[in-house]
Structure 1
Amino acid sequence: MTSESNAKAYWSATLGLLTKVLIVWFLVSYGAGILFAPLLNKIMLGGYPLGFWFAQQGSIYVFIVLIFYYAKKMGQIDRKFGMQED
């Protein structure tokens, strides 16, 4: 694999991961907190409607998980394409 094709494949993989993470971020923050809130509010979690819970706390937990997921996957992509920092 040439250096240029390696760089293109690396950025393609990086942008693919970023796209996936941003889609999850959007669905959790905007979707669960606003768009799907009326449907989710029919489910109770700890005495509160689920839509409210996602808007107030659930999205924060999901974002923290997304940070660790992104870091792990980005490390794998870096190693795969020889871009890791040692």
Structure 2
Amino acid sequence: MNKEQYWKENVILIVKLLLTWFIFTFGLSTFAANFLNNFEFFGVKIGFFLANQGSILFFILIIYIYIKKISKLDKKYSISE
């Protein structure tokens, strides 16, 4: 088992997911909020929704993606609890 390679792939995965979250949170909900506020979803402006609830929901999705990907990485390197 190559622990260094496992850890390297794990860190790369974390960085990619956090970078995606950062882009979503600040890119869409902060910089594009004025544009997104032109659209509504159940009477709530999309820019407002993304700034408040969307980033949290997206973070939960990222946690789910991390769990799935790290499980595959664990199998690849034969790591168990």
Letter in 2 for 1:45: F
Q: Residue in 2 aligned with 1:74?
A: 70
Deviation for aligned residue 1:47:
1.3
Aligned pair count reads 81
Structure 2 CA distance for aligned equivalents of residues 73 and 61 of structure 1 = 19
CA RMSD across the alignment: 1.5
The percentage of aligned residue pairs carrying the same residue is 36
Structure 2: which 5+ residue stretches go unaligned? none
Deviation for aligned residue 1:66:
1.0
Cα deviations across residues 12-43 of structure 1 (Å, max 9, x unaligned)?
Answer: 21122111110121022222221111121122
Give the TM-score normalised by structure 1.
0.80
Query: Is residue 2:66 matched to residue 1:51?
Result: no
SS of aligned partner of 1:82: coil
Structure 1: which 5+ residue stretches go unaligned? none
